[in-house]
Structure 1
């Protein structure tokens, strides 16, 4: 089974990162690699940012001047990735999550913050591996099915409970 090294950074100060979120992100990244039969060890960077920062990034890189929940910056192309010479890991890319928006969406959809961040992480990992739901309805459906399959395997249902008052994990 491939190993995944996940660097999680909290680059915002408005919202506390709940205990357990870092482990959740690592579990989600690993589960996607297993589900996709990714054979090599990999590295991923995940950063929490403010709504203001994700809007700035969205404007610069996607030409969309609005807040979004998550952005993915894949480093690979057509299944080929640069290799970190020190670790031998494939460099998959960067995931940027607005914790403010994730919290709002969890409330709006009536599920836990754990489920929302799990979903955003799985969604972005699939993008880092080359999936693009904006190219065709078929690929969008396939991506949604894979997301639910991975989240289900992890036991992260829409009804999962997770509290924000458990502490700080930053």
Structure 2
């Protein structure tokens, strides 16, 4: 399954102190790893692109709390940073483009590496595990999952655990 991933690492603009340099150095995941993860997850979720598309395209931005706070305030009217935001392209009415065998654009996932780092420490696992966790969560949102209540959140969290298992990461959400 072809997945084209545009990963924007904001590391150069975010390295303000020695502490943040260490955090962001730990968060540098190779593009091939991201692509493998997303390919496995899309296949696991049995999400198939329409025949006129050659695969998928996803934008992933790894950023800091200040930027995600601004986006969260602007788009969700939540005046605080968050760990992950997802903007699904399939939910937006868009003009019909010619069928040119291009990848199907699924949307954008934005992750605050600062918040991910703190959550990884709180959960007792690595930053890599937390980034995978948040990426899986964001992808599920791009695929139409939501969690307006506790029951749907529980289903989504279980799906994330299974998705991480698919890529060889074991996680305990209890």
- The answer, yes or no, to whether TM exceeds 0.5 is yes
Q: Normalization by structure 1: what TM-score?
A: 0.81
Which aligned pairs between 1:31-70 and structure 2 lie closer than 5 A? 31-40=40-49, 41-70=55-84
Q: Which runs of 5+ in 2 are unaligned?
A: 50-54
- Paired residues, what number? 156
Higher CA-based Rg: 2
RMSD over aligned CA atoms reads 2.5
Partner of residue 143, structure 1? 156
Structure 2 CA distance for partners of 1:105 and 1:87, relative to 1, 3 Å: farther
Give the 3-state SS of the residue equivalent to 1:141 in structure 2: helix
Superposition TM-score, scaled by structure 2 size: 0.79
Task: Specify which structure has the bigger relative contact order, considering alpha-carbon pairs within 8 angstroms and separated by 6 or more residues.
Answer: 1
CA distance in 1, matches of 2:113, 2:98: 28
Preserved contact between residue 45 and residue 93 of structure 1 (Cα < 8 Å): yes
- Whether 2:85 is the aligned partner of 1:71: answer yes
Query: Which residue number in structure 2 is paired with residue 130 of structure 1?
Result: 144
SS state of the match for residue 90, structure 2?
Answer: coil
What does the per-residue CA deviation read over 1:130-149, in whole Å, with 9 as the maximum and x for residues that have no partner?
Answer: 00012x33322221111011
Deviation at 1:25, TM superposition (A): 2.5
